[in-house]
């Protein structure tokens, strides 16, 4: 008996995931990681107020979440100085990216991104039959002019840009992005992924009206707010664009526990300040650990640091694997020349102590294979 056939687009795609999760790697390793430093999670944790709010809501988990995330949308609108109609809450930026691609891309439509940028976006584009066109990074940062040139050449419907950037941690001045928006082709939408905006310097955040129909901005509670497992993100855009999500989204996709936690986290400014301070200190320490081992830290406006091995991708992959055997989970960019780096998430001191202890051993084994 044959399995029913897939639809043509998924049938033509490989079975893959953008990232191998740390839990999968731990099962292969046969033990938990001593230092979980690869997924850009916030190891300093969520606001205690958020934890309490989620705990209080757990008894009501038999109820569906509010289908319009009313309280959270109202709070976000007040914080951002926009109307509730400018905001769509969804299952993390990843979920919102999938919905946006579904909303905007027909099979064969051109989409522009950077070669080596966040691969989950590419996964969604492929899943809906879009055609990806990729511009190279320049000086380890996304290149707005290269993205624009490619958008004009291909007639792109979407252009994806992360600022600050993942996987390199670099950032563009807000003015550069504003200039980019002014030069977009007609009927082209810029997706501005601002997952790390809370860590960025003020000058990296562009001044773009939420009523500008050429841009949709996406932010998350996964990074600075320490709630990656709750899956809460939000999009900011023109009300007509935001209203389009109601045509296709999972209206009861948001867990009420997550909604309550995000609302409480948003109101805890003191905890957010603590996270920013702790993250900055961890970035500095990762840089020092790297320097002590001959690796150069690239400037970062995120909660991770890219360490330049000054070698190639093959060496960096071996280093990631060597650290894994030491019980340390890190990741690396996937495309040359970015893949000469390894990427290490900021974390509390005990986990960075593990990194400081294990990185020299891992490097010694690679540089001197006979080293015990």
Supply the CATH classification number for the domain 49-267: 3.40.640.10
pLDDT at 169: 98
pLDDT tens per residue, range 95-115: 999 999 999 999 999 999 999
Q: Where are the domains of the chain?
A: 12-45+270-367, 49-267
pTM for the full predicted model:
0.96
Helix/strand/coil for 240: helix
pLDDT tens per residue, range 303-313: 999 999 999 99
Find out whether 43 and 347 touch, Cβ atoms under 8 Å.
Answer: yes
Phi, psi of 328 (to 5 degrees): -120, 125
Residue 143 gets the label, from left (phi > 0), alpha (psi -120 to 50) or beta, of: beta
Is 136 exposed, middle or buried (CB count within 10 Å of its CB: 0-12, 13-18, 19+)? middle
Instruction: Give kind and range of the element (H or E) at residue 280.
Output: helix 269-292
Q: If you average pLDDT over residues 328-346, what whole number do you get?
A: 97
The fold of 12-45+270-367 is 3.90.1150
Residue keyed to tokens 């960025």:
200
pLDDT tens per residue, range 164-220: 999 999 999 999 999 999 999 999 999 999 999 999 999 999 999 999 999 999 999
């Amino acid at each position: 008996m044959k399995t029913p056939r897939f639809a043509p687009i998924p049938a033509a795609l490989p079975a893959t995931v953008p990232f191998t999760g740390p839990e999968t790697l731990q099962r292969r390793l046969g033990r938990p990681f001593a230092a979980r430093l690869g997924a850009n999670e916030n190891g300093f944790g969520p606001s205690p107020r958020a934890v309490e709010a989620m705990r209080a809501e757990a008894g009501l988990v038999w109820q569906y979440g509010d289908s319009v995330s009313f309280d959270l949308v109202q709070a976000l609108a007040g914080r951002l100085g926009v109307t509730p109609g400018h905001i769509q809450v969804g299952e993390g930026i990843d979920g919102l990216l999938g919905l946006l691609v579904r909303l905007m891309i027909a099979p064969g439509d051109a989409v522009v991104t950077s070669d080596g940028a966040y691969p989950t976006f590419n996964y969604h584009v492929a899943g809906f039959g879009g055609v990806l066109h990729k511009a190279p990074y320049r000086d380890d940062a996304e290149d707005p002019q290269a993205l624009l040139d490619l958008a004009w050449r291909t007639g792109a419907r979407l252009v994806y840009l992360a600022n600050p950037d993942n996987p390199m941690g670099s950032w563009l001045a807000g003015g550069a992005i504003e200039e980019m928006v002014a030069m977009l082709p007609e009927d082209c939408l810029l997706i501005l992924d601002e997952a790390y905006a809370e860590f960025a310097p003020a000058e990296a955040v562009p001044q773009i009206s939420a009523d500008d129909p050429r841009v949709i901005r996406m932010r998350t509670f996964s990074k600075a707010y320490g709630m990656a497992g709750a899956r809460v993100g939000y999009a900011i855009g023109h009300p007509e664009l935001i209203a389009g999500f109601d045509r296709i989204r999972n209206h009861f996709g948001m867990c009420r526990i997550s909604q309550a936690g995000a609302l409480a986290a948003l109101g805890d400014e003191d905890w957010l300040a603590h996270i920013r301070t702790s993250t900055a200190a961890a970035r500095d320490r990762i840089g020092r650990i790297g320097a002590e081992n001959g690796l150069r830290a690239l400037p970062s406006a995120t909660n991770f640091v890219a360490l330049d091995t000054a070698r190639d991708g093959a060496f960096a992959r071996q280093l990631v694997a060597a650290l894994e055997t030491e019980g340390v989970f890190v990741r690396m960019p996937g495309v040359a020349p970015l893949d000469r780096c390894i990427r290490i998430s900021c974390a509390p001191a005990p986990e960075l102590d593990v990194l400081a202890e294990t990185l020299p051993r891992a490097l010694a084994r690679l540089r001197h294979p006979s080293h015990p």
